[in-house]
Amino acid sequence: MSNGSLFEILLYAALAAFVLFRLRSVLGKRTGHEERRDPFADGPAANDQDGSARDDDNVISLPGADRDGPVAAADTATDEELVQNADTLPAGITRIKLADDGFDEVEFLRGARGAFEMIVQAFAAGDRDALKPLLTEDLNRSFVNAIYEREKERETQETNIVTIRSSDIVEASLIGSIAKVTVEFVTDQVKVTRDVDGNVVDGHPDRIETLTDLWTFERDVSSRDPNWALVATRVPDDV
């Protein structure tokens, strides 16, 4: 075989390998020309999960000026599941990506920040319709009950998120087909609650508070619905 023929064979092989590499890197991924999908845009697939009840005795609070508010039922994973799921953060994210090749941390955090603002403001305004598609069924029930209690007292709440200082993924896990991602939000907020006569009963209209909150979102990766829902909120132990 001549050197020229050998060179051509090697050249074609290299070109074929390059084309194969490009195809593998592009297939199943966004090309940059299509619209990015907000993983929180259309609300959760609340009815697409197993519907199993959570333990209402184990509750956590929605963050607020007094750190009290509607309660969210906590995760009730068994001890065996917790041991199996005791991953480091990178390992947890990797497991989610293997189960859901559309998961992207940057896009997820962008959607989580938007959901955070929408949920906080909708809760303050008592907007049940805006809350429902962003929360799991159990958590939505807690929010609605808290709004009802506030309305019964004829109180109104005003919340202004001045800035989101940071939002970072601090926990990630996959139990069965349920992916859970916890985000730590550090925000500056102005929060005030007024009675029926407009008198301030909690918070201060001219005081900015820096709050740190942990919000856990979940999604069934076996579902066709790509949207995540808020399942729990809590305050860090050291706050």
Domains annotated on the chain, with CATH: 61-234 (3.10.450.240)
**Cβ pair 179, 218 in contact under 8 A:** yes
* pLDDT tens per residue, range 99-155: 999 999 999 999 999 999 999 999 999 999 999 999 999 999 999 999 999 999 999
Which residues, 6+ apart, have CB-to-CB distance to 7 below 8 Å? none
C-alpha span between 54 and 83 (Å, rounded): 19
pLDDT at 80: 47
**Where does the pLDDT of residue 67 fall: very low under 50, low under 70, confident under 90, or very high at 90 and above?**
very low
- HEC string for 46-114: HHHCCCCCCCCCCEEECCCCCCCCCEEECCCCCHHHHHHCCCCHHHHHHHHHHHCCCCCHHHHHHHHHH
Which residues, 6+ apart, have CB-to-CB distance to 146 below 8 Å? 62, 69, 70, 71, 123
Quote the pTM value.
Answer: 0.68
pLDDT at 27: 30
DSSP state letter for 189: E
Helices (H) and strands (E) in the chain, counts: 6, 7
* pLDDT tens per residue, range 195-227: 999 999 999 999 999 999 999 999 999 999 999
